[in-house]
């Protein structure tokens, strides 16, 4: 097993464990940039499934290998499940072996990042630029050309296939 695969497997196991261990007062999503998406928790609960609310609005983590988008191979665009902002092109998707949809680059001006200390070690969290919904974390073990791996919760995305 290659070093990056071993590291990815260990990160996936740690994230799955931390998703179970995380205190109930989980961090919330980032603030929405667009005022039209500054919704109350009750309004978000009406719009989202329980699992999408946990990830997008409470910075939760879904179980690895639980999303059908992990195996999605068609050409198209991945959108924020909260506000439908296009976040990733299928051209940047790759199989990271972690159990979550992974991309080597987001679309321009699609995501914002911040440092996250939830696992004590600093990580780069990213969220939807428009609604602030938590998407996942960025790691420095992705393929060229960027060397980045945007590890996304599948429940935080929807997929629109090219016509």
Positions annotated as catalytic residues are: 151
Torsion sign, CA atoms 21, 27, 28, 30: negative
Q: DSSP letters along 11-29, please?
A: HHHHHHHHHHHS-SSPPPP
Q: Classify 163 as helix, strand or coil.
A: coil
Strands, E, within the chain: which ranges?
76-80, 86-89, 93-94, 102-103, 111-116, 123-128, 134-139, 149-152, 157-161
- Tally of residues, the chain: 163
Q: What are the helix (H) ranges across 28-94?
A: 41-47, 50-58
């Amino acid at each position: 097993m290659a070093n990056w695969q071993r590291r990815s497997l260990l990160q996936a196991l740690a994230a799955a464990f931390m998703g179970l261990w995380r205190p109930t007062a989980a961090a919330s999503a980032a603030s929405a940039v667009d005022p039209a998406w500054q919704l109350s928790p009750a309004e978000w609960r009406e719009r989202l499934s329980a699992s999408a609310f946990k990830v997008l609005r409470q910075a939760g983590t879904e179980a690895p290998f639980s999303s059908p988008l992990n195996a999605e191979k068609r050409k198209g665009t991945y959108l924020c499940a909260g506000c439908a902002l296009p976040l990733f092109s299928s051209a940047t998707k790759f199989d990271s072996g972690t159990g979550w949809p992974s991309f080597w680059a987001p679309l321009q001006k699609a995501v914002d990042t911040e440092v996250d200390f939830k696992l004590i070690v600093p990580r780069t969290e990213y969220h939807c630029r428009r609604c602030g919904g938590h998407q996942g974390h960025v790691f420095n073990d992705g393929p060229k050309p960027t060397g980045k791996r945007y590890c996304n919760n599948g429940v935080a995305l929807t997929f629109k296939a090219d016509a």
